[in-house]
Chain A
Amino acid sequence: MSPPLEHDYIGLSEVPSAADGEEGALNLKATELRLGLPGSESPDRKDKVGLTLELLPRGFVSGAKRGFSDAIDGAGKWSFASGESGSEVEMGKGGGLFSPRGEPVAGASGGLLSGQGTGGKDAAAKAAAQERKAAVQVGSSVGNDRAMAPAAKAQVVGWPPIRSYRKNTMATNPSKNKDDADGKQGLGCLYVKVSMDGAPYLRKVDLRIYKNYKELSSALEKMFSCFTIGQCGSHGIPGKDGLSESRLMDLLNGSEYVLTYEDKDGDWMLVGDVPWEMFTDSCKRLRIMKGSDAIGLAPRAMEKCKNRN
């Protein structure tokens, strides 16, 4: 039986959109939300799952990215791609979609749409309809990459209807419980707050479920999709794909971000300098700060990367 036609909220029923997102009122590539100068490619994530937050301005497709300066002008509207539930530590068992009950983005900005060149209410409504539809359609996603594991689905805000309340996420990692039973791990959780400059609310991550900086970095990247850690892992080569010295310079000199943490002494340090275990012991909170603010911290990371390259 073919799935019934989806009715978008203005009462039009649309033919289910083809997997390819090229059709439609929007040029999705142009409005891709991502970190980096326009024109540079950021590494695609294989497991991108579109997530629609009701705060999204119309005209943004879940999972799509755009030039970062536009993101700032957009009064901080956020589009998030959610990764596997294991890394979405905020969600856990009780997790509805990721949003905790933080403050919403203050004030919708109607000007945003015109700024994006979508022009006119109809296009916006259509785009919104497409977005909602795409968000609701199970098994499909919007955006350009189709390389999704069958298990990953487009997620819908507030569905399934589970309390979005901060809970322990151990349920999503049954293998961890085996470790506990063997007495190997059993260290419990270490939740630290993660703030990102410009984001309307904070997140929390459990540092104990990661084993190294790379895992933490990819989890945070999933959480704050336009984010890149501005330094390397504590040992070995630069962590991010395609991260080179010149790119790091771009990142740090532009409006890009670095990851810092507050240690036990209350000092703000660049993440990545010390061994992972030492880091988890001393980290009290994380902050994703603007590269321009992190100027004092950056040169060290630069040195490190230079040396390793």
Chain B
Amino acid sequence: MVRGFGGAAAFPDEVWELVFSFLAADADRNAVALVCRGWHRIERRSRRRVFVGNCYAVAPAAAVRRFPEVRAAAIKGKPHFADFNLVPTDWGGGAEAWVEAMAGGWPHLEELRLKRMVVSDDCLELIARSFKNFGVLSLVSCDGFSTAGLAAIAANCRNLRELDLHENEVEDNCLNWISHFPESFTSLVSLNIACLEGDMNTSVLECLISRCPNLKTLRLNHAMPLEKLVSLLQRAPQLVDLGTSKFSADHHPELLSKVESTFAGFKHLKSLSGIWEAGPAYLPAIYSVCESLTSLNLYYATIQSPELLKLVSECKNLQRLWVMDLIEDNGLIAVASSCKLLQELRVFPSDPYGVAPPISLTEHGLVAISAGCLMLHSVLYFCRQMTNAALLTIANNRPNLTCFRLCIIDPHTPDYISQEPLDAGFSAIVESCKDLRRLSLSGLLTDRVFKSIGASANRLEMLSVAFAGDSDVGLHYILSGCKNLRKLEIRDCPFGDKALLDNTSKLETMRSLWMSSCSVTLGACRQLAQKMPRLNVEVIDERRGRPLESWPDDFPIEKLYIYRTVAGPRSDTPPCVWTV
């Protein structure tokens, strides 16, 4: 019973729990927990989902203790720039501490999602043995485990519904791990093994697919030959999300008609990916599903422009398109006129290091998309040239952008027509797109663009900056503005001590700050760490063996990772990392 509430005090805890169960957002539940001790107690005992954006922000034991009834947990480890080799591989992000704490405190855990963490086979085995009702395992951009760990999951998780392995580095030492799913296992709904490198035993996989009638998502790896893929897919016409294996083979009319009929049999297919190495011979077989697709990922499909254009033009209901720059401006213009429901576009560079002749994908493609696709809100675009005028047009066309990530491949590239910096263009983006939550900058940029961002980007949560700015003032604009900034990652910018030290309290309102190849000195880090005990200031330097204490204050920092934490300095720092 809750005291001192007047009439409402008569409600038993269960009623409040029911009320709180309608609060989906963690932020709302956090707010509820601050109202009074009673609500704090009720809320914590009824929280079912926990999201830990930085695995070092809180001690696992503390999290498990506070929320004893958690059923679903999501935890992230390494900083985002680990994706681009900027973070030493031994930096940390190990999952053991969390898995051990969860195994002890959350025996009813059903879902676990880990991102950018180091997960060992022992961890996987512990997961497999500890949670009786375990249903969902999602590992994204993780490493440290092998197919032997997956075999343990397969063998022991009787109620597994979802196994999602997305872009992990997985050692292949247990060739037949799929066969560890027992014959009685039928609960699979989603299987994503696209990142695995080894061959799969097709007949075992077919058996598994056949006995799982609820299977909706199947993403295979590259290895399976097309003939075997086809016979496998014929057993799962109910699929909603398909990632094929290799989509090329010697031309064979029989095989082609089998592929066509298989695809024609997919009545519910909404999402298509994989299509590795698609040759023009077999690609047309996909046309029958194009109309119903809402998501198409052609990242691995090395199709050239004419075929690409034809394919995407068929996909009238597409909401998400991931494609290589082989689509070129013409292709994007076709997308702009065919795919009116497009919400998310990602265009990746087929040749990022510039050795092949340049592809004709320019700012025009993106401008066309921004004009034609009224529902577009998320963009990731790699290109080689840009103008302020184009960015202005895009900003005016699409004020509903929430995510805008532009990567002009050569650092410091100016507006190629006016030779000016791209300040005006990006400023237009942040001023026009009031709901912008994520922004990545590129090209030639001065401090002026940061002034605009600091002033206008009020909803911005994540900002990525590279090779930009003139001085500390740039960083100061960001840290003194951007009210909702959570993650800031900076590389190769002339930002230094003053901006950091003038904005120390801002850092505690953010999840993390990454700075590499900037102008920060050790002295500033020491001052910062002393002033802000609830920040971990990690200096990463792989060059020296001597301990940090012996370095002088003016020592230039190579890499810096600052994050707020209630757990204090971590105990698993490798030799190249020092917590100041």
Contact = CB atoms under 8 A, between A and B. Distances in A.
Interface in B201-230: 222, 225
Contacts of A9: 517-519, 556, 558
Interface string B532-563: 00000000011111100000000010110000
Given A9-B519, A151-B355, A158 B85 contact: yes
B259 to A, nearest CB: 15
Given A1-B414, A93-B348, A155-B353, A191 B197 contact: yes
Interface stretch (B287-295, B299-307, B335-343, B393-401): B299-307
Contact of A3 (B326, B407, B412): B412
B85 A104 contact: no
Contact of A161 (B83, B517, B546): B83
A84 B407 CA distance: 21
A95 B86 CA distance: 13
Interface stretch (A28-36, A180-188, A272-280): A180-188
B20 interface: no
A104 B88 CA distance: 7
B279 A177 contact: yes
Contacts of A107: 545, 575
Interface in B366-415: 382, 407, 409-412, 414
A10 B519 contact: yes
B85 A96 contact: yes
Interface stretch (B48-56, B95-103, B129-137, B490-498): B490-498
Interface string B340-352: 0000000011111
B542 A55 contact: yes
A165 B248 CA distance: 22
Given A93-B324, A96-B85, A160-B407, A105 B90 contact: no
Interface string A1-44: 10110010111000000000000000000000000000000000
**Highest count of chain A CB atoms <10 Å: which of B90, B355, B411, B496:** B355
Contacts of A166: 169, 197
A185 B296 CA distance: 27
Nearest to A56: B543
B106 interface: no
Contacts of A101: 85, 89, 143, 169
A290 interface: no
B444 interface: yes
A171 B467 contact: no
A21 to B, nearest CB: 21
B277 A162 contact: no
A138 B412 contact: yes
A180 B195 CA distance: 23
Contact of B83 (A105, A111, A164): A164
B5 interface: no
Interface in A101-128: 101-111, 125
B421 to A, nearest CB: 9
B300 A103 contact: no
B466 A159 contact: yes
Contacts of A109: 545
Contacts of B407: 160-161
A84 B356 CA distance: 9
B545 A180 contact: no
B251 interface: yes
B221 to A, nearest CB: 10
B185 interface: no
B389 to A, nearest CB: 17
B572 interface: no
Contacts of A82: 353
Contacts of A181: 248, 251, 279-281
Contact of B277 (A10, A95, A100, A180): A180
B304 A4 contact: no
A136 B411 contact: yes
A181 B302 CA distance: 12
Contacts of B169: 100-101, 165-166
Contact of A168 (B222, B496, B542): B222
A158 B81 contact: yes
Interface in B70-128: 81, 83-86, 88-90
A97 interface: yes
Contact size range, A? 35 or more
Contact of B466 (A4, A125, A161, A170): A161
Interface residues of B, number: 75
Contact of A108 (B248, B250, B440, B545): B545
Nearest to B225: A188
B155 interface: no
Nearest to A169: B302
A67 interface: no
Nearest to B324: A171
Interface in A201-251: none
A254 interface: no
Contacts of B299: 93
Contacts of B353: 82, 84-85, 91, 153, 155
A177 B355 contact: no
B542 A105 contact: yes
Nearest to A129: B556
B383 to A, nearest CB: 10
B246 A188 contact: yes
Contacts of B88: 54, 104
B411 A110 contact: no
A157 B86 CA distance: 7
**Highest count of chain A CB atoms <10 Å: which of B195, B470, B518, B519:** B519
B160 to A, nearest CB: 25
**Highest count of chain B CB atoms <10 Å: which of A10, A160, A191:** A160
Nearest to A100: B169
A168 B276 contact: yes
Contacts of B81: 158
A167 B222 CA distance: 10
A174 interface: yes
A58 B250 contact: no
**Highest count of chain A CB atoms <10 Å: which of B276, B444, B518:** B276
B576 interface: yes
A158 B558 contact: no
B494 A7 contact: yes
A153 B324 contact: no
Contacts of A99: 85
B349 A160 contact: yes
Nearest to B358: A151
B462 to A, nearest CB: 13
Contacts of A106: 575
A302 interface: no
A247 to B, nearest CB: 31
A93 B356 CA distance: 13
Pairs A-B, 9 closest by C-beta atoms:
A158-B84, A7-B494, A10-B556, A181-B279, A183-B250, A1-B419, A11-B519, A84-B355, A180-B279
Given A159-B467, A183-B251, A188-B225, 15 more contacts: A1-B414, A55-B542, A84-B355, A99-B85, A102-B89, A110-B545, A111-B545, A125-B556, A138-B412, A157-B84, A161-B83, A164-B84, A174-B326, A174-B350, A180-B277
Interface of B: 81, 83-86, 88-90, 141, 143, 167, 169, 195, 197, 222, 225, 246, 248-251, 276-277, 279-281, 299-300, 302-304, 324, 326, 348-356, 382, 407, 409-412, 414, 419-420, 440, 444, 464, 466-467, 470, 491-492, 494, 496, 517-519, 541-546, 556, 558-559, 575-576
9 contacts: A104-B576, A107-B575, A160-B407, A161-B464, A165-B141, A168-B300, A170-B276, A180-B277, A183-B281
